[in-house]
Structure 1
Amino acid sequence: MEEEKRVEVHREERTDSGMVGATFIKYAAYLIIFFGVLWFLISYVFPMF
């Protein structure tokens, strides 16, 4: 006769708000730099041609 074992696993999903904020700021900075370079190209470089 086999015994049936029941195992309960409790997993807590924690979001570290500090890490989320830092990641958001990092990608926001990437986007600002990207659009800044794009604006520079459109405003100054393309009119030269």
Structure 2
Amino acid sequence: MSSPAKLRWHGELESLWDREEVNVNPAQAMEIRIKVVCTSLCRRDITAW
């Protein structure tokens, strides 16, 4: 199964975030899959990396 994801790569500021399709393995026994519909990130989080 593939899913869109925002990924952060180390590099120049212009290319820190990319949207890519990632492969997601099926849930195994005793695991569940959740869908994150919202998250946030403040400027300090980004500059601390």
TM-score range, shorter chain: under 0.3
TM-score w.r.t. structure 1 length? 0.19
Structure number with larger C-alpha Rg:
1
TM-score w.r.t. structure 2 length? 0.19
Higher relative contact order (CA 8 A, sep 6+): 2
